[in-house]
Amino acid sequence: MWKKRGDFSKLTSKMSKDILHNWEKKSAENQKQYKQFLTKADKNKVLKALPEIHEKAFEKIDCLKCAACCKNYSPRFKTPDIKRISKHLGLKEGVFIEKYLKLDEEGDYVVHSKPCPFLGSDNYCSIYEERPSDCARFPYTDEDVMLKRVPLTLKNATFCPIVYFVLEELMKKG
């Protein structure tokens, strides 16, 4: 869940050194613990804690310093996304699909190149206001997707420091 450009000026430019030090390595090492926690956790307790932890994570971590999601992965482009973004770009839907998208192995439209063609060199999204719903919701740390789609959460924790941070905080709370 990216915030608007102006919101980022309020965020700290340095990531919290304590919990985020070597986070990629720690995330890889903790995948089993995360899986156990997510599958056995008290769902209501976790869902109640998520909004506060989610906000805390976004206060500590500046997505624009990372953008790993946009550099290495693609969201699904659902029909409403394709219609909205095509219109915004002044392209017919077929032209937009041909120019930017491909069907993946699951039958979903995804970008055909990495990094995302809409990611600028400054890590800002050129279609931010019209971005796909998957991008608007990412990293899903304030919704039940974290619990309902455990494999996705585990994957996201390997490249997104916010997901890692939220999982670590949740596990501290028990």
Residues 19-41: pLDDT tens digits?
778 899 999 999 999 999 999 99
In a 3-state reduction of DSSP, which class is residue 147?
Answer: helix
Same-domain pairing of 58 and 31: yes
Same-domain pairing of 80 and 65: no
Same-domain pairing of 65 and 143: yes
Residue 122: Cβ within 10 Å count:
8
**pLDDT tens digits for range 146-170:** 999 999 999 999 999 999 999 999 9
* H or E, element range at 89: helix 79-89
Q: Which among 170, 55, 71, 152 is positioned nearest to 106, based on CA atoms?
A: 152
Contact status, residue 139 vs residue 119, Cβ threshold 8 Å: no
Question: How does residue 7 score in pLDDT terms, banded at 50, 70 and 90?
Answer: very low
Same-domain pairing of 89 and 165: no
Domain that holds residue 107: 73-135
Which residues partner with 102 through β-bridges?
Answer: 110
Same-domain pairing of 156 and 107: no
**pLDDT tens digits for range 30-72:** 999 999 999 999 999 999 999 999 999 999 999 999 999 999 9
Same-domain pairing of 128 and 78: yes
Q: Is the pLDDT of residue 10 over 80?
A: no
Residue 2 lies in a domain: no
Question: How does residue 173 score in pLDDT terms, banded at 50, 70 and 90?
Answer: confident
Same-domain pairing of 147 and 63: yes
Question: How does residue 8 score in pLDDT terms, banded at 50, 70 and 90?
Answer: very low
CA distances from 128 to 4, 106, 131, 173 (A): 8, 25, 5, 34
**pTM metric for this prediction:** 0.85
Same-domain pairing of 66 and 147: yes
Q: What is the pLDDT of residue 20?
A: 77
Same-domain pairing of 56 and 105: no
Residue 5 lies in a domain: no
Same-domain pairing of 124 and 48: no
Same-domain pairing of 61 and 142: yes
Same-domain pairing of 116 and 157: no
Q: How many domains does the chain have?
A: 2
Q: Tell me the pLDDT of the chain averaged across its residues.
A: 90
Q: What is the pLDDT of residue 18?
A: 66
